[in-house]
Amino acid sequence: MFEMKSAGFAIQGKTLLQPTSLSFKQGKVYGLIGHNGSGKSTLIKLLARQQDCHGGEICFDGRPLGDWGHQAFARQVAYLPQHLPSTDNLLGRELVEFGRYPWRGLFGRHRQQDKDKVEQAIALTHTQGFADRLVDTLSGGERGRVWLAMLLAQESRFILLDEPLAALDVAHQVEVLTLIRTLCQQLGLGVIIVIHDINMAARFCDHLVALHSGSVLVQGEPDTIMTSETLESVYGIPMAVMRHPAQTHSIAIL
């Protein structure tokens, strides 16, 4: 669905992402991993049309991103940035309703179909119990689920998430990632997520893309990435790798 063809990005003479060729398909969770400044957020912003690539091309459904109208693209691809907008005085349900913007326009009234999609998204994310509470009063995990509900209400085929776990403790990270993976499997969504915790990435992602200094160093299924040699080349520090005693994935140990 997404295809990058030698697409890169530079600003003020500094290259943040070298010419990169990648493809992303529906039905899988892709994890972008690497140290700070490796190019993860730049890559996902290019896919989300938050920045224009310098050279090369990015296509969605075989069409260059520039050929998509804003509203038409938003019906296909939902994006959650690293720094979330303010939710002052917003109820959870009101936040989820924002996901219907691509389908009704800025000043369009909610139709029954919009209301049904909002309720469906709330049900899928199990947020009924706090949908009518102020977002700012919710726990980290609850807020994460409400934001996901908003993206689901958008009815897009791809969801792009830039560090959605940054402010969450370990329990809430597992809660949100479990929900993301379940929704991907149930709805056939494509999910691309910038994630710092390599062990979380190995557990919940189907495919990892490891970046280093603005270049894709290696990509593949988690087991092919989770080796001591590969992780040291990605992060620059020695790591041991072992099989998780209670799961099927490998884990890295400093």
Set out the domains of the chain in order of their start, with CATH numbers: 2-253 (3.40.50.300)
Cα 180 to Cα 43, 61, 146: the distances in Å are: 20, 23, 12
pLDDT, position 105: 60
Q: β-strand 215-220 against 207-212: which pairing, if any?
A: antiparallel
**Concatenated DSSP letters for 27-85?**
T-EEEEE-STTSSHHHHHHHHTTSS--SSSEEEETTEEGGGS-HHHHHTTEEEE-SSPP
Evaluate whether 154 touches 48 at the Cβ level (below 8 Å).
Answer: no
Q: Is the pLDDT of residue 108 over 70?
A: no
What percent of the chain has pLDDT above 70?
98
Average pLDDT over residues 103-118: 81
pLDDT, position 104: 79
Average pLDDT over residues 241-246: 78
Tokens of 104: 């009704």
pLDDT, position 136: 93
CA 230 to chain centre: 23
Average pLDDT over residues 36-54: 95
Q: In this structure, is the dihedral angle defined by the CA atoms of residues 154, 221, 249 and 215, taken in order, positive or negative? A: negative
What percent of the chain has pLDDT above 90?
73
Question: Which pLDDT tens digit goes with each residue over 47-76?
Answer: 999 999 998 999 999 999 999 999 999 999
Q: How far apart are CA 182 and CA 202, in angstroms?
A: 16
pTM passes above 0.85: yes
Q: How far apart are CA 11 and CA 38, in angstroms?
A: 15
Q: Is the pLDDT of residue 244 over 80?
A: no
pLDDT, position 249: 77
pLDDT, position 243: 80
Q: Is the pLDDT of residue 23 over 90?
A: yes
